[in-house]
């Protein structure tokens, strides 16, 4: 089951389009509530993962979806509880937080994460995450930060949305966070991870270009934020967007890699094959809850197997997450050379 990459991004909304969408409401949304009730009943009889944690991820959250996000976040805090990135790291190393260790099918704690670095993420962190006490992961493509407005919008359309949307169809105020906003997120206690240097699909790159996209993203984040970037989320997140050569580079420079493949994470999950749930904020709350409770896991078994195959057998996995030699992105490869045409200060412009 493949879902559209830009599903739920809420671009260019207008009343007319919304009405059309409601009319064409997908069957999976209409069945969400009965499916959720059935899923919860099955959980009572021991069906589903009893321990572990889930990562949930979001992209741009336009103003009109703030309420949907808030309702979802409140529901997660109440039913599942949330964990911070540091808790997830400890869990993967074998030490879950005490309160979350007891088996509780369908109520696994969630780690919130945000992809692409949209300016709306900063607003959400300040207005919604802070009051709820949620510490999250934000994945940034450093080469897109600080570009002149027109160039950044073109990059958003062509690399983040992969050309599925024209630049002039983007919401007029759509932009990425500034370095000041990203630094401020870090100061609020959130974790900043790399999302590629320019958000390019790794399976379309090779050689120096692949090196640069993966390694330089972490080198730049580390230089900007003053702490080694340990987390990577590869652009697009599906199994068609990750390769063995890419994962070997990620393994050499980062400690954790989050995919967009659905499923539970626990001690047995390779830290470079972490699963995550894309939450569709345009979907009914019951569908979002079904997603966060693992109701879609069954559709992604093959993708999970494929992902595990790509990362395996990497030497020392999954036990190298306490590697005392890890020094951060770039440390293993020394000075990187840049592919022709890429400016070293693309993030400063």
Tell me whether residue 137 or residue 235 sits nearer to Zn ion (CB atom).
235
Q: Minimal CB distance to Zn ion: which residue? A: 115
Shortest spacing between CB 199 and Zn ion, in angstroms: 6
Tell me whether residue 235 or residue 247 sits nearer to Zn ion (CB atom).
235
Contact window for Zn ion (CB under 5 A) among 89-97, 109-117, 223-231, 300-308 = 109-117
Contact window for Zn ion (CB under 5 A) among 42-50, 116-124, 260-268, 327-335 = 116-124
Shortest spacing between CB 155 and Zn ion, in angstroms: 12
Tell me whether residue 7 or residue 305 sits nearer to Zn ion (CB atom).
7
Among 60, 87, 89, 115, binds Zn ion (CB under 5 A): 115
**Terminal CA-to-CA distance of the chain, rounded, Å?**
40
Shortest spacing between CB 115 and Zn ion, in angstroms: 4
Q: What is the largest CA-CA distance in the chain?
A: 59
Cis ω before 185 (30° cut-off from 0): no
Shortest spacing between CB 243 and Zn ion, in angstroms: 17
CA-nearest of 138, 177, 140, 170 to 154 is: 170
How would you classify the pairing of strands 54-58 and 110-115? parallel
Tell me whether residue 142 or residue 294 sits nearer to Zn ion (CB atom).
142
Asked if 116 touches Zn ion (CB under 5 A), the answer is yes
Q: What angle do CA 342, 193, 323 make, to 5 degrees?
A: 110
Identify the residue whose tokens are 């494929």.
306
Shortest spacing between CB 34 and Zn ion, in angstroms: 32
The number of residues in the chain equals: 349
58: its two tokens: 């979001």
127: its two tokens: 């207005």
Contact window for Zn ion (CB under 5 A) among 83-91, 115-123, 161-169, 287-295 = 115-123
Tell me whether residue 116 or residue 303 sits nearer to Zn ion (CB atom).
116
Shortest spacing between CB 141 and Zn ion, in angstroms: 8
Identify the residue whose tokens are 């400063």.
348
Shortest spacing between CB 195 and Zn ion, in angstroms: 6
Which residues, in sequence order, are CB contacts of 95 under 8 Å at separation 6+? none
Tell me whether residue 60 or residue 297 sits nearer to Zn ion (CB atom).
60
Tell me whether residue 116 or residue 209 sits nearer to Zn ion (CB atom).
116
Shortest spacing between CB 216 and Zn ion, in angstroms: 17
Q: Which of residues 219-258 bind Zn ion (CB under 5 A)?
A: 235
Tell me whether residue 80 or residue 275 sits nearer to Zn ion (CB atom).
275
Number of residues this chain uses to bind Zn ion (CB under 5 A): 3
Query: With the CA atoms of 128, 129, 133 and 139 taken in that order, what torsion angle do they form, in degrees rounded to the nearest 10?
Result: 180
Q: Which phi and psi angles does 74 have, rounded to 5°?
A: -65, -40
Tell me whether residue 4 or residue 226 sits nearer to Zn ion (CB atom).
4
CA distance 210 to 227: 23
173: its two tokens: 């105020």
Site string for Zn ion, 8-47 (x = CB under 5 A): ----------------------------------------
DSSP letter string, 65-128:
GHHHHHHHHHHHHHHT-B--HHHHHHHHTT---GGG-S--TT---EEEEEETTBHHHHHHIIII
Kindly list the residues in this chain that would bind Zn ion in the complex (CB under 5 A).
Answer: 115-116, 235
């Amino acid at each position: 089951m493949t879902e559209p990459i830009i599903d739920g991004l809420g671009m260019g909304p207008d009343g007319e389009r919304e009405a059309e969408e409601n009319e064409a409401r997908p069957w999976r949304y209409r069945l969400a509530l009965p499916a959720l009730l059935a899923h919860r009943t099955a959980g009572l009889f021991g069906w589903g993962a009893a321990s572990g944690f889930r990562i949930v991820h979001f992209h741009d959250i336009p103003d009109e979806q703030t309420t949907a996000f808030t309702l979802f976040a409140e529901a997660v805090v109440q039913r599942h509880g949330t964990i911070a990135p540091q808790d997830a790291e400890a869990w993967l190393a074998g030490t879950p937080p005490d309160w979350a260790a007891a088996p509780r099918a369908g109520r696994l704690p969630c780690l919130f994460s945000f992809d692409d670095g949209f300016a709306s993420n900063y607003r959400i962190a300040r207005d919604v995450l802070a009051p709820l006490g949620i510490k999250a992961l934000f994945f940034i493509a450093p080469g897109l930060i600080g570009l002149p407005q027109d160039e950044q919008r073109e990059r958003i359309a062509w690399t983040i949305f992969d050309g599925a949307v024209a630049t002039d169809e983007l919401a007029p105020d759509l932009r990425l966070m500034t370095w000041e906003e990203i630094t401020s997120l870090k100061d609020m206690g959130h974790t900043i991870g790399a999302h590629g240097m320019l958000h390019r699909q790794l399976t379309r790159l090779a050689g120096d270009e692949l090196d640069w996209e993966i390694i330089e993203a972490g080198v730049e984040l580390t230089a900007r934020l003053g702490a080694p970037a340990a987390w990577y989320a590869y652009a697009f997140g599906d199994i068609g967007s990750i390769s063995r050569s890419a994962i070997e580079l990620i393994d050499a420079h980062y400690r954790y890699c989050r995919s967009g493949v659905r499923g539970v994470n626990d001690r047995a999950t390779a830290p470079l094959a972490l699963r995550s749930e894309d939450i569709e904020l345009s979907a009914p709350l019951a569908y979002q809850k079904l997603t966060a409770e693992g109701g879609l896991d069954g559709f992604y078994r093959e993708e999970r197997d494929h992902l595990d195959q790509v990362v395996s057998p990497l030497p020392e996995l999954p036990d190298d997450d306490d590697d005392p030699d890890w020094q951060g992105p770039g440390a293993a490869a020394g000075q990187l050379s840049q592919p022709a045409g890429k400016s070293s200060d693309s993030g400063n412009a």
